[in-house]
Structure 1
């Protein structure tokens, strides 16, 4: 009998089972697992002379830390169950990587491809007004970000509309993250989730003893990779892996799966994909109309970077990857996950792996509240200090340091370097915490350990507050 898939129930079941392994009381588990609040709004927008009515949601899972944080997606598949599940994932994700936010998520039931930019702006501003007047958006309480179907420009519209509604709020730009750099955004945010996926995989593949039982050799170089979903996250994950020496052999999208066993040039494929948003007409590849074939193709690393519920009990027995890196939210169902574990396939879970986006969003939020970009105050100072160190070495050696060596020293980090350094440190430290907890409690898999780590951190807050 096939499973009945409920995304929110799936997330809750994993959380409860993992939390119980940490000896957390049932009262605290119940307090954490349910969403604190959810709004549904229906609002009219006049387009082309007629009124269209749109439906949107914003869910707040946990307010143990404020503001709550989570993206807004525009898609026809959006529903309340989905935003509740995603808001819970955001709470756990933030706890795992020690980002001081609670979890939230939003969605608008819309196909953005059916509207031009002017219409999308009008719809987005109307949605922003609905959220703002109900206090479901503000830099102090509830901070959205881009998600599927939205982008930096969408966030700029939201920030501008919020600022017009709250002109007295000096921190108004912090009401959303993922904005264009010119409008209060931060360098590195666009590629942050994909870069976080890369850092997580890089650290995992350096854990020689941990990956050995799964038949996985250390290092990224030479690994074959299949990507499902070639949007922002999938593209950047592929790009960084290719740069590190991996071979991207397959890309699955809505309209099919393309395969080249010798490996793609990711930039070339991406340029062609952007023209048509399709993989159907890309030359010199093996094309399969059934995109699900990509999930089942033999490879070292499979990266689902599309929608939830892609690997279930129906197709999990046919998965041939050695390692599944969940760049999307909830791509593997509970029953599918059980089968993968029984097959000895290592799964790096979404609740940890795609936390790069919220980590860099946190950096952007701090930048907006501090009203100064990273590196502005001390970059030149650090550069001067570094040059003095080089001068000291030259004096001690009584000869100049060759310019090709001196140029390798970068003493004053700019904003992007600071952000990437912070992201790498965050992702690698969090994975080591997960692996250590798994070993200390003899947990069955990394997903259980990641949820257990989140449960422990959030429960500690509730336990202290109830003393």
Structure 2
């Protein structure tokens, strides 16, 4: 959603982020100079360039913003959307700074965007546009393994990242670290297994960790485990699909409602997320999905009763207009800025608990960090010690069998004698990062009497870490 549309519902996305930061700064008693230095976007570049499409030149405009380079490289996705603008890019860059700090990823914050509807272009045209955009960013110092590392965002994916990293390689053929110039690449071209699902998987891990704290889920009027919890998901793109799929298949949640561009489908007994995704691919929307009630005004489905609401699409879908009617007990912000600043206040006053976007959807940047490390190390995770741990596991099994004169069951043998591969290690690192970050957020909320929600706890943590760097190292 563009700032102009956002403004019709209250303050803009950028203003919303800045208000959160101001509130956190006030709670911390940070001096005004430090606060202003942290809020300002350090640099932003706008590029406009022509690309020949079907014999005619089309002009494309894009941006790349660096909010902070207190840690290098600066990190953040590139989105392709017809409604992207500079203010949105700058707001998202700021959010990336705080997001990286919250989950202890040593990056600064950056973001990029190109005004384009990728669905309107054939593959070879999209490749030409993407490669030209990459060249513009590279020439201006906004794309490199050491300074600024983009990743996928809305409207982009491994394909676009692959084109961009190949463009960088062509321009710098002697840079042996060229693969680290972008993350979210195809696995065959330097990516890591698990990156494509990382943000959605991170949402699942965030919810799992929250449900390990009975006193915390009690705040939302919930109890027990994730099993059987009724979930509404808005947006079945990459993030929403993976979050919903994993919650359904691994945690036994009931995905009762799925909201898409053309409406919503509802089944209180639970929807098959994989089947819904396939239906969308084949038909272009959720309408007509068998065994479900169809609601043409999909946005109204946000107001249906559920345990957990997962907005996983655009900014500003929950506003002052519909916030009073939201019936979810818990909201997990899989998208960036799905709740406006004013709506957030209404929901909190009504007792709705919110897992904030700055933490909840950080899975993507966490696994991007792992991919970047892998690219710079030039060796896949697990290559050096996988067989060693398999052999050690087998020795343990042999020792047990000799000591007990009993055969160890085959399913236990398979687990003990299996060394972790790259996929296992990526998942483990993501799980650990999400768990530790939420534990710190909960601890901060419960020990600071001025904080009464997870969002402000997360911002206080982020600003404390970034301001500490400024104090210790200098501006």
TM band (smaller chain): over 0.9
- 1:408 equivalent to 2:415? Answer yes
2:318 to 301, 311, 336: 311
CA distance in 2, matches of 1:142, 1:20: 31
In the alignment, structure 1 segments of 5+ residues that lack a partner are none
- 1:290 equivalent to 2:297? Answer yes
Say what the alpha-carbon RMSD is for the aligned residues. 1.3
- Residue 70 of structure 1 is matched in structure 2 by 76
8 Å CA contact 2:77–2:153 kept in 1: the answer is: yes
- SS of residue paired to 2:265: strand
- SS of residue paired to 2:169: helix
Instruction: Give the ranges of 4+ consecutive aligned residues of structure 1 lying more than 3 Å apart after TM superposition.
Output: none
- 1:247 equivalent to 2:254? Answer yes
- SS of residue paired to 1:211: helix
8 Å CA contact 2:394–2:417 kept in 1: the answer is: no
Give the drift of 1:209: 0.9
Alignment of 1:35-74 (within 5 A): 35-74=41-80
1:263 to 262, 270, 286: 270
Distance 1:60 1:384, change over 3 A: same
CA distance in 1, matches of 2:360, 2:164: 27
- Residue 347 of structure 1 is matched in structure 2 by 354
Alignment of 1:60-459 (within 5 A): 60-243=66-249, 244-442=251-449, 443-459=451-467
- Residue 466 of structure 1 is matched in structure 2 by 474
Give the drift of 1:276: 2.8
- Residue 10 of structure 1 is matched in structure 2 by 16
CA distance in 1, matches of 2:409, 2:86: 62
- SS of residue paired to 2:339: coil
- SS of residue paired to 1:14: helix
Give the drift of 1:283: 2.2
In the alignment, structure 2 segments of 5+ residues that lack a partner are 1-6
Q: Give TM-score, length-normalised by structure 1.
A: 0.98
Q: Give TM-score, length-normalised by structure 2.
A: 0.96
- SS of residue paired to 1:408: helix
8 Å CA contact 2:44–2:66 kept in 1: the answer is: yes
CA distance in 2, matches of 1:55, 1:430: 36
8 Å CA contact 1:327–1:354 kept in 2: the answer is: yes
Query: For 1:314-358, what per-residue CA distance to the aligned partner results, in whole angstroms no more than 9, with x for missing partners?
Result: 110010000010000000011000000011000110000000000
CA distance in 2, matches of 1:310, 1:230: 15
Give the drift of 1:410: 4.6
CA distance in 1, matches of 2:178, 2:411: 45
CA distance in 2, matches of 1:175, 1:454: 25
CA distance in 1, matches of 2:443, 2:109: 25
8 Å CA contact 2:389–2:417 kept in 1: the answer is: no
The farther-off stretch of 405-414 and 77-86 is 405-414
Query: For 1:36-63, what per-residue CA distance to the aligned partner results, in whole angstroms no more than 9, with x for missing partners?
Result: 0011110000111110000000010000
8 Å CA contact 2:316–2:337 kept in 1: the answer is: yes
